[in-house]
Structure 1
Amino acid sequence: MDEIRIACPSRLHIGLIDLNGEIGRIDGGTGIALEYPRTVIYAKKSDRLEVECPQDPTAVGRAEEGAREVMQRYDLPPAKIIIEERPFVHVGLGSGTQLLVGVAKVLCHLAGRSVNANELGSVVNRGGTSGIGVASFEHGGFIVDGGHKFRTGDAANSKSEYSPSSAVRGLAPPPVLARYDFPDWDILICVPAGEETAGIREVEIFKIVCPVPPEEVKTICHLVLLKMLPAILERDLESFGFAIEESQKYGFKRFEFRAQSRNVLQCMDFLKQNGGIGVGMSSWGPTLFAFGEQLTDLCEKTRRFLDENMDGTCFVTRANNTGMKVLG
C-alpha cells in the first residue's frame, strides 16, 4: 500500500464514572462515537516525515510528535501526512485522540503492520483517563469503559493520582465493558462560546475536586447499568434521556459544569425548554448535546438563539457505529 485516507469519528464524552477510587479503580466513562464532525487523514509513502494541516497549522507539531513516537516504537518508515479535516479543538469532541491515533494508524497501514487502537493509544499517550476516544476509533457505537487500577502498587498498570489523560504517559487505555450500536436518533450538537479547559488548568481541577463522594459514584453506576444501557437496547429515547440528564448532576461532571461560562448554562436551559431530550455537556465542554427522533426544527431554533445571544454553532448528526473508516 502506497497511500491511504481514513476518517476518524469525534465522540461525545457523557461523563466519568468514578473519581473516588476507594475500591481500587478510578475513571471509567460513557460516551458515543459521532458521524460528524470527523478527522480525515491522508498519508503516502515518502523518504522523510512531513505533516500538513491546512485547516489548523497548530496541529502539525503535535501530529509530528505522535508520528515519531509510533515510528520509533515499531521501526516504521516515514510518510507524508495531510490532515484534511479537523474538528473544533478543546471543545469536548475528542479531536486530540482522533488526530494522534489516526496518524499512528495510517503509518502502520502503509508499513503493512496491524496494530489495534488500544495499543496505539498507549504509544501516543491517549486513553490514560477516559477510554471513550480510543474505543470510538476502534469500534464506534455507545461505549462504557472500565477505568484503571488505582494505587495498587503496580506502577506500570496502575494510576497513582487523579489526573486527566493529558497528564498520563505510558498507561494503556481502559478495557471496554460494554459496546452497543447506538439507535438512529438525531443528535444535536451545540457549541456555544465558552471556556476551554485543558493543560495545567485541567490538572489543577482534578487535584482540587478529587476524590468525589462515593455515594455519587454509586448513583452514576446505578443510572448507567439499570437505566442508560437498557434504554439503548430497548430503543427507549425518553428513558435514555432521563438517565443522561440525571447522571450529569453527580460526580466529576458537577465540577466540569462549574468550569464553564454562563453561555453554556443558558444554552442548556434553552435546549431543555424547546424539546431536547437527554441534554448534557460533553467532557469539559462547551459542546452540548441533545437527542431526538427529528431535530432539524430544534437546530434552526438553536441557531437563531445563538445568533441573537452569543457566538456559537450547531448542527445535527448521528452516531457512528463502525469506528474508523478507510476511505481509499
Structure 2
Amino acid sequence: MEIETSARLHLSLIDLNGSEGRIDGGIGITLKNPSLILECDFNDSQTEILFEDTRYSYVDEYKSKILTACNNMQEYLGINNSYRFRVKKIYPIHHGLGLGTQLLLSTGQLVAKINGVDLDVFEIAKIVQRGGTSGIGVHSFNHGGLIIDGGHKKNIKKDFLPSSASHVAPPPLLVRYDFPEDWNILIATPNFNQGVSGSREVNIFQEYSPINLHDVERICYITLMKLMPAVLEKDIVSFGDAINKIQTIGFKKIERNLQSQKVNNIIEYMLDNGIEGAGMSSFGPTCFGITDTNVKSMKKDLQDLMGNDSFIKITNGKNEGSKIR
C-alpha cells in the first residue's frame, strides 16, 4: 500500500493576539511538488524503515516521525503489528514546506488502511498530534488547494505554541478554493538551514506573542477583501499585492526578521524581476514567488544569487489531497 502527498506553502498565521477569544488561524497553498511517496506493508519481524530516496541528511528524524506516528496509531487501534515502510520520495524537513505533518499523517493513514480501519484525516491528525497551531498541513493533505483555517478557541488552547508543541485538535477549515492552475510557483531554498523547530520555535512563539491587534485586523482585512476574491477572479496582480502586504506585518514579519538577509535578498530579487507576489514560507528558509508568467529564464540568475547546492523548482498549485493506492 502506498500514499502520495505533497508540500505546502504557509503564507502566514493570522491571529497571535487572541483578544476575541481565538488564536492561530492560517493561510496556505498546496503544491504539486515537491512530494512525498511512502509505502507500507506488513513485516514478519520488527518494524523497519527503508529509503529509496537518500538525498537528504535527515534520515534519523524521518525514521523517528514514522515510528512515532506508527506507535500512536497502533496504541489507538489496540494492535501490535510489524511493518516495512519504504520511503520512495521525500523532501527536506524544517525548510518551511510542511514535511513533518505530511510524514506523520501519511504514516497514520497507511497504518489505519492496511489494518482495514477507515479514519478521517481530522481524527488521524489528533492521534499523531498534528495541527495544534496551523491547520494548513492537515487540510492540504485532505483537500489540496488554497486553505484558510479558523484557529483555536482560547479556552481549548490556552497559550501561543507551534504545532509541534501543541496537542489540541486541528482547527476548522474556513475556506478552500481551487488555486489557479496556470499560476506558476517558484520555490527557492538557499543552501543553509535556518528553519526553526523544537525548543527554539517554542521560545519564539512565547517571546513575541501576543502580537499587535492592529496587525491581526490588517491581515484579516487583506485576506478577506483582497486575497480571497483575487483567487476567485484569477487576478494575479491583486493576489500578489495581498501576499506582499501580509509578508510585512504580524507574526510573518517576525519570522522574516529572524532570518538571514539572504532570504530577503531572494524575495527582493523575485519582486524586482516581475514576480507579482513573493515571500517566505513558514519559518523558512524556503522562499516562493507566484506569477502567471514564465519563470524558467529566472532560474539561472537566481541560482547564481543563492549559491551552489541551493534548491530551485518551478511548480503549481495542487487542487486535490493525498492519494492512497
Would you call these one fold, judging by a TM-score over 0.5?
Answer: yes
Residue type of the alignment partner of 1:173: P
Structure 2 counterparts to residues 127-276 of structure 1, below 5 A:
127-150=131-154, 152=155, 158-169=156-167, 171-184=168-181, 185-194=183-192, 195-276=194-275
Structure 2 counterparts to residues 111-126 of structure 1, below 5 A:
111-126=115-130
Residue type of the alignment partner of 1:262: Q
**Corresponding residue SS for 1:264:** helix
Residues 151-205 of structure 1, C-alpha deviation per residue, up to 9 Å, x if partnerless?
A: x2xxxxx111101011112x11000000011001110000013412111111111
Q: Is the 8 Å Cα contact of residues 191 and 306 (structure 2) preserved in structure 1?
A: no
Q: Is the 8 Å Cα contact of residues 271 and 290 (structure 1) preserved in structure 2?
A: yes
Residue type of the alignment partner of 1:83: V
Residue type of the alignment partner of 2:91: P
Q: Is the 8 Å Cα contact of residues 71 and 78 (structure 1) preserved in structure 2?
A: no
Residues 220-254 of structure 1, C-alpha deviation per residue, up to 9 Å, x if partnerless?
A: 00011110000000011010000000011111011
Residue type of the alignment partner of 1:72: E
Q: Is the 8 Å Cα contact of residues 78 and 107 (structure 1) preserved in structure 2?
A: no
Runs of 4+ in 1 over 3 A off after TM superposition: none
User: Alignment partner for residue 64 of structure 2, among 61, 64, 78?
Assistant: 61
Q: Is the 8 Å Cα contact of residues 188 and 288 (structure 2) preserved in structure 1?
A: yes
Aligned partners of 2:147, 2:92: CA distance in 1, in Å? 22
* Cα displacement (A) at 1:53: 3.3
Counterpart for residue 26 of structure 1:
23
> Pairwise CA RMSD of aligned residues?
1.3
Aligned partners of 2:268, 2:197: CA distance in 1, in Å? 25
Q: Is the 8 Å Cα contact of residues 278 and 291 (structure 1) preserved in structure 2?
A: yes
Counterpart for residue 49 of structure 2:
51
Aligned partners of 1:31, 1:301: CA distance in 2, in Å? 27
- TM-score between the two structures when normalised by the length of structure 1: 0.93
Q: Is the 8 Å Cα contact of residues 15 and 29 (structure 1) preserved in structure 2?
A: yes
- TM-score between the two structures when normalised by the length of structure 2: 0.94
Residues 45-74 of structure 1, C-alpha deviation per residue, up to 9 Å, x if partnerless?
A: 223422233524211122111101011102
Q: Is the 8 Å Cα contact of residues 53 and 60 (structure 1) preserved in structure 2?
A: no
**Corresponding residue SS for 1:256:** helix
Structure 1 residues not aligned, in runs of 5+: 153-157
Counterpart for residue 316 of structure 1:
314
Structure 2 residues not aligned, in runs of 5+: none
Q: Once the two structures are aligned, what percentage of the paired residues are identical?
A: 38
